[in-house]
Amino acid sequence: MLPFKLVYHEGYDLNLGPHVFPSQKFRLIAEKLGADGIASKEDFVRPEPAADEDILRVVRRGAPGSTSIFGYLRTVRRLPRLTRRIEWC
């Protein structure tokens, strides 16, 4: 058992296909650490979604009725399929 915890969630692999940021690397690293006996399942913790209060510590709400990053994050967190969509501005 490691003297620290490793944070991993299967949602970190966004399955983007060929991309400059190969997100499957997080899954591959977790698998390699397990296969090589460096880390066990007990060494990994799965993060929980951030609470609204925590999100509000780092983002500002938009004006009432406007689209804000806060509203977007609340929506994304509740709709797993939306987390795989990338929007370009």
Residue 69: pLDDT band by 50, 70, 90 thresholds? Answer: low
Whole-model pTM: value is: 0.57
What are the residues facing 44 on neighbouring strands?
6
Percent with pLDDT over 70 in the chain: 65
User: Residue 16 and residue 85: Cα distance in Å, rounded?
Assistant: 9
* Per-residue model confidence (pLDDT) at position 88: 42
Task: Give pLDDT tens digits for 45-68.
Answer: 999 887 877 777 776 655 555 556
E-strand ranges in 9-77 read 44-45
Provide the token pair at 21.
């940021």
34 has pLDDT over 80: yes
